[in-house]
Amino acid sequence: MFLQTSATTDAAAAVGGNTNAEAMKAMGFSHLIQNFDWLSWIVFVTLVVMSFLSWYFIVSNAIRNAMVRGRADKVIDGFWGNSSTQDAIRELEAQPKGEPFSKIALDAASAVAHHQQTTTGTTGRLAESLSRSEFIDRALRQAVSRESLRLEGGLTLLATVGSSAPFVGLLGTVWGIYHSLIGIAATGNASMNAVAGPVGESLIMTAFGLFTAIPAVLAYNFFNRSNRLTYARFDEFAHDLHDFFATGSRVEGAAPTLKS
């Protein structure tokens, strides 16, 4: 009698084990999609869009920063190494549209030309309100601010994705666990086959949220550090340009060159 009961128990355990094994094999991305409801689709699509946008700005910012830093020394050295200011300005005008250092220098040169035209006119109101140095300083500040803002494109989105994507994934986790508990309560069956889908959905959503957030956070910190170095180069170049256009000569060694 004992042996019969034991054999029956072993057979039931084997059947249950096979059922659980089949349920575990069924877990995966396809099973996740099949168990989606409207909220799960919203969470999934939101994470996909976040991941796509973050990688887009990661790649575009990496290319842009590499081009800016790669051309910086060439543009700056070319400007100061040119014996003629007019030739130097023509070389700056030939630079690519997105090159920031040439745009800063061109704004300073335009400010000088505009100030000279105004002061040689009949009114001279600009000369009365702003001196040459003040007018150049204002133009350089505006140029540096404009080019700095351009370098920050996409950083707000990276920060938003890095801070919110884990919580979006957590929403999918909570929703999956909720469905799992509802299913168990409705059927009274707490086997692996009953809860594998919702639990798998919960775990995958959590991992997806983390995979979306981690690259965005790392990229945001990297670009923030890289941009600070570029901002320092902007300020250094702008100070030298101010001295040159305001006094006619560059103050050598006014600021050290920063390098990463």
Domains in the chain, number:
1
Q: Does the residue 254 lie in any domain?
A: no
Which is higher by pLDDT, 33 or 50?
A: 50
Query: How confident is residue 40, by pLDDT bands cut at 50, 70 and 90?
Result: confident
Segment 85-118, tens digit of pLDDT? 888 888 888 888 888 999 999 988 888 887 777 6
Q: Does the residue 178 lie in any domain?
A: yes
Q: Does the residue 258 lie in any domain?
A: no
* DSSP assignments along 22-49, one per residue: HHHHH-SHHHHHHT--HHHHHHHHHHHH
Segment 10-25, tens digit of pLDDT? 444 444 445 555 555 5
Q: Does the residue 255 lie in any domain?
A: no
Tokens of 134: 């003040």
pTM exceeding the 0.95 threshold for the entire prediction: no
User: Residues near 62 by Cβ (< 8 Å), separated by ≥ 6?
Assistant: none
User: Per this entry, what is the length of the chain?
Assistant: 260
Query: How confident is residue 9, by pLDDT bands cut at 50, 70 and 90?
Result: very low
Domain extent at residue 8: 2-247
Q: Does the residue 37 lie in any domain?
A: yes
Q: Does the residue 219 lie in any domain?
A: yes
Tokens of 194: 């009953």
Q: Does the residue 253 lie in any domain?
A: no
122: Cα separation from own chain's centroid: 51
Q: Does the residue 257 lie in any domain?
A: no
